[in-house]
Structure 1
Amino acid sequence: MIALSAVDAYLAELAEQRRQSPHTISNYGRDLRRLVMLAGELPLSDVRLHHVRRFIGQLHAQGLSGRSIARLLSAWRGFFSWLGQHDAVPANPCEGLRPPKSPKHLPNALLVDEAARLLDPVDEGDSVLAARDIAMSELFYSSGLRLAELAALDCDALDSALHEGEIRVLGKRSKMRLVPVGSKAREALAAWAQVRGSLAGPEETALFVGQRGRRLGQRMIQLRLSRQAQLAGLSRHVHPHMLRHSFASHVLQSSGDLRAVQEMLGHASITSTQVYTHLDFQHLAKIYDSAHPRAKR
């Protein structure tokens, strides 16, 4: 099918020339295949603005959120722009098109005492795995890392974390940033470094490894964190991004420095970080409701 071959060529160029991550390429591929499916027998060169509007309407009616549709439109817009550069379409039918609005959902963060309970070591029988899991959780919470960023860390991050109190991580769009590592996280990493050799293969460079001695995958990191939360007696599902949200929210509550939080999170725009000011306001509103005489019934 001509449309799918064009999609494959576009994705190959993204991967080779624009240094997009495999995760981003996979997402683009899924979004563009959806476009081809919606177009059906209609050639991409004949897709116009009213067609794209209809596609969006169909997806929105199926329950797809405005945020998800915005991501789809971004992928489609880039693809049609590329097709235009190759004279395969007369114009970009996605240009100027906006996704439907959807309600904003605030990030789901742990309370400070919940974070403390999560990071309090629990005797689970295997001290090596426990040391590894606590080190991962402490690093998530201490430095606000994304799941992919933590999974990609190599052992050279240990020296920087333990001796300089910071590590370099490769974030979205292949951007490198420097993030701090707190004292508790450094202690946990030092404890893991002492026992890592009992799991890691002789040539393995990954900082966090599984029982087979190889780099720990993202899915397993998620499962281990969820298990750790259960052992700590937390009643809700805890995932790596919740610890990133907790890091941002708690640092902002303490410092009020939005720009510093933006830099540590690796957000390209301050708008992405500003959502935590709403989360912080919710926290303050709860304190007000419980403490102010005029707020009490």
Structure 2
Amino acid sequence: MKKTRAPIRVFLDEELAAGEVEAIDAFLQWLDIQKGASAATRRAYGTDLRQFAQFLSRRGCALADPGSIGRRDVESFVAELFRAGEAKSSLARKLAAVRTLFRFWVRTGLLEDNSAARVPNPRQEQHAPRLLNVDETFSLLDEPGKAAAAISPGEHHLLCRDLALAELLYGSGLRISEALQLDVDDVRSDEQVVRVIGKGNKERLAPMSDTSVRALAAWLAERPAVADPGESALFVGARGHRLNRREAARRLGLLCRKAGLDRTISPHALRHSFATHLLDAGADLRSVQELLGHRRLSTTQRYTQVSLDRLMRVYDAAHPRAHEKK
């Protein structure tokens, strides 16, 4: 049996010097104001750079003195994390944080050269998120609601919320972070669109399915019984404040069990299912890219799967040598 590794906590037991904290804070402010990075990105980069600063202190370097840090230091940081068992996806993100910090130093005149840019990315394992087929998706979205009459009023409120969230993740292909950042005013039910703020603070209008509109209407009718007065969040938790990711994932797992599915899926699996089902039904990749809010087409290609049957249909219909001429 394959052993599961304990969560990695490298270098985080040490306190940072004031100069290191100021260096990280200045960078995070620049990331916020100049780059429009999300709060989640800033938190992740802040943690990554605290790890980097604590690693550097053991090598006689400091973030407060950018000139003391070179490419070899960055490579050694990545190597140490790798030896500690850090996932390659986490390594890539931490390296991205360090590279962005170096770019900030170059732009503000603290460095002349971004030596971190020459450190290669770790090779990533390609893991496609698990997805649902169409029948499983319909079961997830339809079956739990059939038992609504047999539950308490408080649980009924939360079930309406959970179904509305799941409908939006699948019907509009939203990231879970995008869905949980929505405010009530972002929903335009009469136009069947929702205003979404994606990565890099990029705004887009995502279309809503008919079932999403109905599920959101049902949740909005129940929401006043749950939300605190003055709370703007569309999806709120049992305590009346904005719903968090962990609770949203837990509740989605509960929907899976109520639907009788043989496995629990992540919120991202609904987004992935959305894209895959569109492609299988004949949607073109560029359109799916726009719907998902991806900047690069290669990202869409990596996170979606086109069935072999569809590929063969496209080939048979389009390629001049697919059929013998009569």
Q: For 1:110, what is the secondary structure of its paired residue? A: coil
The structure with the greater share of residues assigned to helix is 1
Alignment of 1:128 onto 2:150: no
Q: For structure 1, which runs of at least 5 residues remain unmatched after alignment?
A: 286-297
Q: Write the distance in 2 (CA, Å) between the matches of 1:157 and 1:9.
A: 32
1:281 equivalent in alignment to 2:303: no
CA contact (8 A) 1:32 1:75 kept: yes
- Cα distance, 1:210–1:81 mapped onto 2, change above 3 Å: closer
- The alignment status of 1:246 with 2:273, answered yes or no, reads yes
Q: Distance in 1 between matches of 2:275 and 2:103?
A: 36
Is the Cα–Cα contact under 8 Å of residues 4 and 36 in structure 1 kept in the other structure? no
What residue is the counterpart of 1:231 in the other structure? Answer: 258
Tell me which stretches of 4 or more aligned residues in structure 1 moved more than 4 Å: 282-285
Residues 133 and 225 of structure 1 are in contact (CA less than 8 Å); yes or no, is this contact kept in structure 2? yes
Q: Deviations over 1:43-100 (max 9, x none)?
A: 3422222222222222223333443322222211121222234444453221222112
Deviations 1:93-113 (A, max 9, x none): 212221121321122211222
Matches within 5 A, 1:7-26: 7-26=24-43
Q: 1:212 to 1:58 in 2, by over 3 A?
A: closer
Pair 1:109-2:131 in alignment: yes
Summarize the alignment of residues 195-234 of structure 1 with structure 2, pairs less than 5 Å apart: 195-234=222-261
Change (3 A) 1:128 1:87: closer
One-letter code of the match for 2:236? Answer: V
Aligned amino acid, residue 133 of structure 2: L
| Conserved? CA contact 1:200–1:213, under 8 Å | yes
Aligned mates of 1:145, 1:109 — CA distance in 2: 15
CA contact (8 A) 2:129 2:268 kept: no
List alignment gaps of at least 5 residues for structure 2: 1-16, 312-326
User: In the alignment, which of 35, 42, 48 is matched to residue 61 of structure 2?
Assistant: 42
The answer to whether the 8 Å contact 1:208/1:216 transfers is: yes
CA contact (8 A) 1:118 1:232 kept: yes
Write the distance in 2 (CA, Å) between the matches of 1:66 and 1:224: 29
Tell me the CA shift for residue 132 of structure 1: 1.5
Please list the CA deviations of residues 1-45 of structure 1 after superposition, one character each: whole Å capped at 9, or x if unmatched: 233321122112222343221111001111111211221222342
CA distance in 2 between counterparts of 1:52 and 1:35 reads 8
TM-score (norm 2): 0.79
Alignment partner, residue 314 of structure 2 = none
Q: Go from structure 1 to structure 2 and tell me whether the alpha carbon gap of 1:105 and 1:143 turns closer, same or farther (over 3 Å shift).
A: same
User: CA, structure 1 residues 83+145, in 2 after alignment: closer, same or farther (shift >3 Å)?
Assistant: same
One-letter identity of the residue aligned with 1:167 = V
TM-score w.r.t. the length of structure 1 is 0.87
The answer (yes or no) to whether the contact 1:70–1:98 under 8 Å persists in 2 is no
Residue aligning to 1:74: 96
Counterparts in 2 of 1:102 and 1:151: CA distance versus 1, 3 Å: closer
Q: Is the 8 A contact 1:45 1:90 kept in 2?
A: no
The one of 66, 71, 83 aligned to 1:61: 83
Structure 1 partner of 2:11: none
